[in-house]
């Protein structure tokens, strides 16, 4: 019997990963850049045991159906290939984040699973190798191996596609993200399906690929200069460009709901009132504000006039993978 437990935190991309050039290896079309957060995370235990007759997957106390289990099983197959291990496994996971609601449960979920497997089988993977392994489960998971600002190098093959931290700890301490939870139910179109449809059919997708390297360069320079205005402006612009691509997909779709637009408008109002903050969104209707810690209370007070206080959750920069005993 081999057992390992790990915790991984979600990350939110400021410059988005949107589209794959290799769906099996999960190689992205573009580099991306994220901030790992402390408020949302996953804890996962994995046990490999010769007596098991199949893989099983418990999420939040419930045994998962064949479809959900097969995704975990496919990842375990990659781990078994990498190691000498032949046994089936039992995976028991708890999401301290709503699942599949555009709040990056796949990032924390698969990063925690990768780290738990590394621990259980004593694979002794370096952080970079662990990032590559997590990537095979879900692209954004490769960034959750590390804390703070993290860049995922798209690479050209399995060996060259991994995330690494930007080492900007002293600035991440000044920053916060405020989540406006407009809906925490499972979304209709997963990130995986949404990006695939966009790559294959959206006439706006080539425009996205042209823009990302420029946005990324601006964001990295802003981080190195601790220039919040520039980082926030490019974060919001990059999110809008990503979401724009879905409107030209066939059939078209959007992750936005009327409440997402209400939240975006609230961010613009805050800015007009001199409280600097910027929004970003992922594959779901929830809106995340990037803000400096010093302005968080004022923004929260304003947003409480528009949304229920239970819908507002603040987060700060979070750490990388943690091994649990
Ligand atoms: P999200 O916006 O929450 O990341 P996605 O559609 O991108 O939504 O991914 C959700 C999928 O991630 C789930 O359907 C499941 O396959 C996987 N996932 C989420 N949490 C876990 C977990 N704790 N362990 C393993 N897989 C998970
Ligand atoms: C919009 O990493 O969930 O959140 O690699 O298919 O598992 P798969 O997709 P996933 O996609 C995340 C997309 C995004 C942007 C981002 O996190 O960079």
Domain spans in the chain, listed from the N-terminal domain onward: 2-169, 171-316
Q: Is the dihedral of CA 189, 194, 200, 201 positive or negative?
A: positive
| Multiple choice CATH, 2-169, 3.30.1330.60, 1.10.287.80, 3.30.230.10, 3.30.200.20 | 3.30.230.10
Distances (CA, A) of 148 to 155, 274, 281: 21, 27, 18
Full pLDDT tens readout for the chain, 325 residues: 999 999 999 999 999 999 999 999 999 999 999 999 999 999 999 999 999 999 999 999 999 999 999 999 999 999 999 998 999 999 999 999 877 666 778 999 999 999 999 999 999 999 999 999 999 999 999 999 999 999 999 999 999 999 999 977 789 999 999 999 998 777 689 999 999 999 999 999 999 999 999 999 999 999 999 999 999 999 999 999 999 999 999 999 999 999 999 999 999 999 999 999 999 999 999 999 999 999 999 999 999 999 999 999 999 999 999 999 8
Contact between residue 108 and residue 98 where contact means Cβ atoms under 8 Å apart: no
The number of the ligand 2 atom at minimal distance from the alpha carbon of 282 is: 1
CA of 113 to the centre of ligand 2 (A): 16
CA of 191 to the centre of ligand 1 (A): 10
CA of 26 to the centre of ligand 2 (A): 10
Structure tokens at 305: 């006039």
Please list, in sequence order, all residues whose beta carbon lies within 8 angstroms of the beta carbon of residue 247, skipping any fewer than 6 positions away. 204, 254
The domain 171-316 having CATH identifier 3.40.50.150: the answer here is: no
- Which of 228, 219, 247, 211 has its CA nearest to residue 293? 228
Nearest C-alpha to atom 11 of ligand 2 is from which residue? 191
Which of 16, 17, 163 is the pocket-test mutation for ligand 2 (most atoms within 8 Å of CB)? 17
- Which of 232, 214, 210 has its CA nearest to residue 222? 232
* Whole-structure pTM value: 0.97
Nearest C-alpha to atom 4 of ligand 2 is from which residue? 282
Beta strands in 55-205 (DSSP E): 56-59, 62-63, 88-96, 149-153, 162-165, 175-180
């Amino acid at each position: 019997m081999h057992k390992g437990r790990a915790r991984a935190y979600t990350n939110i991309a400021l410059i988005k990963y949107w589209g794959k050039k290799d769906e099996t290896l999960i190689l992205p079309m573009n580099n991306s850049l994220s901030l790992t957060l402390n408020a949302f995370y996953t804890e996962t235990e994995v046990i490999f045991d010769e007596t098991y007759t199949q893989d099983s997957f418990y999420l939040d106390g419930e045994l998962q159906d064949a479809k959900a289990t097969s995704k975990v099983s496919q990842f375990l197959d990659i781990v078994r290939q990498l190691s000498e291990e032949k046994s089936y496994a039992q995976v028991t996971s708890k999401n301290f984040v709503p699942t599949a609601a555009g709040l990056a449960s796949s990032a924390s979920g698969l990063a925690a699973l990768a780290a738990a497997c590394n621990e259980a089988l004593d694979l002794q993977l370096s952080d970079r190798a662990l990032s590559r392994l997590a990537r095979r489960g879900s692209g954004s998971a490769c960034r959750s191996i590390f804390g703070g600002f993290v860049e995922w190098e798209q690479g050209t093959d399995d060996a060259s596609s991994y995330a690494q931290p930007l080492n900007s700890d002293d600035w991440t301490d000044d920053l916060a993200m405020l989540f406006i939870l407009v809906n925490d139910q499972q979304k209709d179109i997963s990130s995986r399906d949404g990006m695939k449809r966009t790559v294959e059919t959206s006439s706006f997708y080539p425009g996205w690929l042209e823009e990302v390297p420029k946005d990324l360069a601006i964001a990295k320079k802003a981080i190195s200069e601790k220039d919040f205005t520039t980082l926030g402006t490019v974060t919001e612009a990059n999110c809008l460009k990503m979401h724009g691509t879905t409107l030209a997909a066939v059939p078209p779709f959007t992750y936005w709901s009327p409440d997402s637009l209400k939240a975006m408008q609230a961010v613009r109002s805050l800015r007009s009132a001199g409280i600097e903050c910027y929004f970003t969104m992922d594959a779901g209707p929830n809106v995340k504000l990037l803000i400096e810690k010093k302005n968080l209370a004022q923004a929260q007070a304003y947003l409480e006039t528009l949304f229920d206080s239970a819908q507002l959750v603040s987060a700060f920069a979070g750490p990388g993978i943690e091994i649990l005993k």
